Amino acid sequence: MYPEYMMESINKVERTRPQRLELARKHGKMIYPRMSEEERETVLNNYHPDYKKESRREVRVGPNKGEILTTEVADIFESYGRVNKEMFNFDKVDYETDVLIIGAGSAGMAAALIASEKGSDVLIATKLRLGDANSMMAQGGIQAATQKDDSPATHYLDVIGGGHFDNKPELAKALVNDAPESIKWLEELGVMFDKDEDGSMTVKSGGGTSRNRMHSTRDYTGAGICRVLRDEVFNRPEKIKYLEYSPVVELLLNEKQEVSGAIIYHLDNKQYSIIKAKSVIMATGGFGRLHIRGFETTNHYGATADGLVLTYRVGAKMMFMDSVQYHPTGAVFPEQIVGFLCTEKIRALGAQPVNCDGELFVYPLEPRDVEASAFIRESQGRDLGVKTPAGLVGIWLDTPLIEDILGEGTIEKMLPAMLRQYERFGIDVRKYPMLVYPTLHYQNGGIEINDKCETNVPGLFVAGEASGGIHGRNRLMGNSQLDIIVFGKRAGLQASNRSNDIQKVGKVHMDHIEKYNAEVAKLHLPKSKIAPMILPDYIPDHVKAKQLVSEYSGTLI
Amino acid sequence: MSEKTKMVKVYIMGEAFMVPAASTIIMAIEYAGFQLKRGIGCREGFCGACATVYREKGDYKLKGGLGCQTVVSDEMYIAQIPFVPAEKPLYDLNELTPDPSTFMKLFPSIYRCVACNTCTKSCPQDIQVMDYIQALIRGDIKQAAELSFDCIRCGLCALRCPAEIVQYNAGTLARRLYGKYLSPKSPELEDRLQEVNDGIYDQEIDEMMTMDIKDLTKKYFAREIKIT
């Protein structure tokens, strides 16, 4: 429950609620004016964490050398590999496959299903279990222009406007055009979308959308999709093999310098294995667990940007790798759930963000970067946030309004995950608001791809959050769940096609790692600076200091 | 953590550690210096990786919960469950029919249910597990799909079931059958697919793809908003 001093602020929220309810009844979501182009720019420049000087720096090695990247990403690029070529005999390969898929979120598993249907033998190597991914945690929805008053063209305009017009056009086009078909594909696999009684899809709006386009499976949309894909992967053991607890620690090239395999490392028995493949799909997801700028994150334990490091070392170019998405509404109270996602659907259903005095200060559904910046301005710039006993600050997300607008029982029906999450820690969000603050959510940029999911390195395909270009520098809600399906499927198809054309992979090597390490060595960094991180380290300092592995700045597994 | 942080004693696999009282089980294990590889996943209650059994002081009951969602208490005994070795029948959804015969063939164990309700009591998601198994026995796939919807596949129900039923795999099949065969079809979706295949939106999109950024910006900020 909230402590007394916070209840005083909640009382103010309750006092302004009838007035705000009136406003919502009259104007729907237009309870507050949307920002103009200039207003958006001002709030972003002054308050978005990306726009702070120390948030970005020049990277000194690799394909993007000399470019300005997110500081923590530049840091992991300027790291040594975990293994060197003397440790291996590349004549003895442990696994051979047509298509190797690294990562088993929805993108990787969608790719596996399609590649297997096209006749390829598929091997998935993943760090934890199948479905252990951000995909499983998405709550709000998946966008697709399925409704009569909507169209892929309208969707396209929302995507690129939200992305500040930086998006790679061919990728945005693929995203919106493939969207309706993706919904159908998922439904045929048995995904249970929320529907009205006549069978039409229940669709809601999201930040930066101009139509109701958000399809959902309650507020378990990511799980609703990902667990179906996983069940289908389980059902095809003849065509799809998988290795769990087997993160990739380096990619391999062949003599033509094509990506042709990987080295995996088993987390339990600590054994390395060599995989040879005709095509490789990188689907390792994002970087939330790098805790950029010290932010808490909504991301999965395994979201440590391993795929970025591995592909960068084989020469893949990054795009928009200077851009981080902070989700406006991460929990800040109670302390056990700090950083957890409070889905955008909460605002789509009518909850309003208000300050400590219960006053509205922003249109509730601006694009995420703008909305998050407005929250930071309200709490830091104007000092109108609410402090928690742990010293954090947040603003109120007035959830009781949802049931005032849409009727009793709405929250239980539409937001069961949220209701359950807060109930576990003694707060009934039907009666009391949530306290929220921006939380590190999504890697906007990534490995540059084209609309076939190809990279500048032959043999290497990328799908999902690891890729860059689709969303420009700001992704809209519900376009990530869409992206992983659209591009997961495309990657599966293209990688399979390529494999079908290849007779022989030839000898594999990791000479590129030697060269890369030599480049890193010129920076005179300590040898302990290693990547990929594989898993984050939450062991407290006083314990860490006495551990044998304490000298490593990366995690030693 | 400040020095004033209230601490409690917990037993992780029998070994005593002092940890902050406000910790979840996962936070406590990490505070003790363990780097978790199994029994950990999303850390937010969505993935089911951190099924944990525990016993609290003065209570004879063995309880189950998610490590990331359960706060520790003084003198709590904790053991995580790294994996649930449960049977998973293989099937091709396209060849199945959405009726009881499918469950008789693939999940005959559900008919062993003795209605003891242990599964429901062990579910950290508060799902009416026994009710959805009973719905399947009656042949009500829709009800089973809806009741089992919030399942995150932690496996605690199957571990406690005296009839050896793997409830969550049966629930998965119920939902897939409902989603594919039984839920009413969206009337708009087929029309839209046809339109996209006919390429009727391509020209409008292609124009925007090559449009001058100033014009595009103008078009974006002037676009009509039709949301409810």
Residue A403's CATH number: 3.90.700.10
Annotate A156-200 with DSSP letters as a single string.
HHHHHHHTTT-S-HHHHHHHHHSHHHHHHHHHHTT----B-TTSP
A541 has a chain B CB within 8 A of its CB: no
Do residues A340 and A381 touch, judged by C-beta distance below 8 A? no
**Same domain for A169 and A303?**
yes
Nearest to A471 by CA among A513, A502, A442: A442
Do residues B155 and B72 touch, judged by C-beta distance below 8 A? no
Amino acid making up residue B119: C
**Same domain for B174 and B109?**
yes
Q: Indicate if the pLDDT at residue A550 is higher than 80.
A: no
Q: Indicate if the pLDDT at residue A60 is higher than 80.
A: yes
Confidence of residue A552 (pLDDT cuts 50, 70, 90): low
Confidence of residue A557 (pLDDT cuts 50, 70, 90): low
Which helix or strand (DSSP H or E) is residue A27 part of?
helix A4-27
Catalytic status, residue A40: no
Nearest to A472 by CA among A217, A260, A175, A246: A175
Of the candidates A48, A215, A347, A430, the residue annotated as catalytic is A347
Nearest to A512 by CA among A89, A102, A85: A85
**Same domain for A184 and A250?**
yes
Q: Indicate if the pLDDT at residue B2 is higher than 80.
A: no
**Last residue of one domain, picked from the residues A411, A440, A469:** A440
What value does the mean pLDDT take over residues A234-254?
Answer: 98
**Is there a domain that residue A209 lies in?**
yes
**Is there a domain that residue A413 lies in?**
yes
pLDDT attached to residue A120: 98
| Number of Cβ atoms within 10 Å of the Cβ of A355 | 22
B212: its two tokens: 């001058």
**Is there a domain that residue A83 lies in?**
no
Domain count, chain B: 3
Of the candidates A20, A289, A327, A475, the residue annotated as catalytic is A327
**Is there a domain that residue B31 lies in?**
yes
**Same domain for A105 and A253?**
yes
C-alpha to C-alpha distance for B72 and B62, rounded to whole angstroms:
14
Size of interface A-B (CB pairs under 8 A): 225
**Is there a domain that residue A66 lies in?**
no
Q: Indicate if the pLDDT at residue B195 is higher than 70.
A: yes
A177 has a chain B CB within 8 A of its CB: yes
Give residue B167's domain range.
93-182
At a CB cut-off of 8 Å and minimum separation 6, what does A547 contact?
A539, B33
What value does the mean pLDDT take over residues A509-529?
Answer: 95
Q: What is the DSSP letter of A12?
A: H
What value does the mean pLDDT take over residues A314-321?
Answer: 98
**Is there a domain that residue B217 lies in?**
yes
Confidence of residue A555 (pLDDT cuts 50, 70, 90): low
**Same domain for B63 and B143?**
no
Q: Which residues of A touch B175 (CB under 8 A)?
A: 190, 192, 228
C-alpha to C-alpha distance for B48 and A128, rounded to whole angstroms:
13
Nearest to A324 by CA among A303, A338, A345: A303
- pLDDT tens digit string along A401-432? 999 999 999 999 999 999 999 999 999 999 99
What value does the mean pLDDT take over residues A57-82?
Answer: 97
- pLDDT tens digit string along A259-269? 999 999 999 98
Q: Distance of CA A394 to CAs A11, A235, A376, A463, Å?
A: 16, 45, 9, 34
Average pLDDT of the residues of chain B: 96
Residue A287's CATH number: 3.50.50.60
Nearest to A115 by CA among A503, A502, A491: A491
Domain count, chain A: 2
**Same domain for B97 and B37?**
no
**Is there a domain that residue B226 lies in?**
no
Catalytic status, residue A512: no
**Same domain for B176 and B199?**
no
B145 has a chain A CB within 8 A of its CB: yes
Residue B61's CATH number: 3.10.20.30
**Same domain for A498 and A360?**
no
Q: Is the peptide bond before A33 cis (omega within 30 degrees of 0)?
A: no
Q: Indicate if the pLDDT at residue A556 is higher than 80.
A: no
Nearest to A311 by CA among A463, A128, A457, A523: A457
What value does the mean pLDDT take over residues A187-215?
Answer: 95
**Is there a domain that residue A543 lies in?**
no
**Same domain for A385 and A367?**
yes
**Last residue of one domain, picked from the residues A492, A508, A524:** A508
Which residues of B, range 48-77, sit inside 8 Å of A by Cβ? Answer: 49, 69, 71
What value does the mean pLDDT take over residues A322-346?
Answer: 95
Average pLDDT of the residues of chain A: 96
B21 has a chain A CB within 8 A of its CB: no
Q: What percent of chain A has pLDDT over 70?
A: 98
- pLDDT tens digit string along B142-178? 999 999 999 999 999 999 999 999 999 999 999 999 9
- Provide the shortest C-alpha distance from residue B2 to chain A (in Å): 10
Tell me which of A240 and B187 has the higher pLDDT: A240
Q: What is the DSSP letter of A82?
A: S
Do residues A525 and A296 touch, judged by C-beta distance below 8 A? no
**Same domain for A221 and A317?**
yes
Please name the residue of chain A whose CA is at the shortest distance from the CA of residue B199.
A177
Nearest to A430 by CA among A445, A450, A409, A448: A409
At a CB cut-off of 8 Å and minimum separation 6, what does A141 contact?
A204, A206, A214, A215, A216, A221, A345, A477, A478, A481
Q: What is the DSSP letter of A530?
A: B
**Is there a domain that residue A17 lies in?**
yes
Give residue A269's domain range.
96-323+444-508
At a CB cut-off of 8 Å and minimum separation 6, what does B32 contact?
A543, B12, B17, B19
Q: Is the peptide bond before B85 cis (omega within 30 degrees of 0)?
A: no
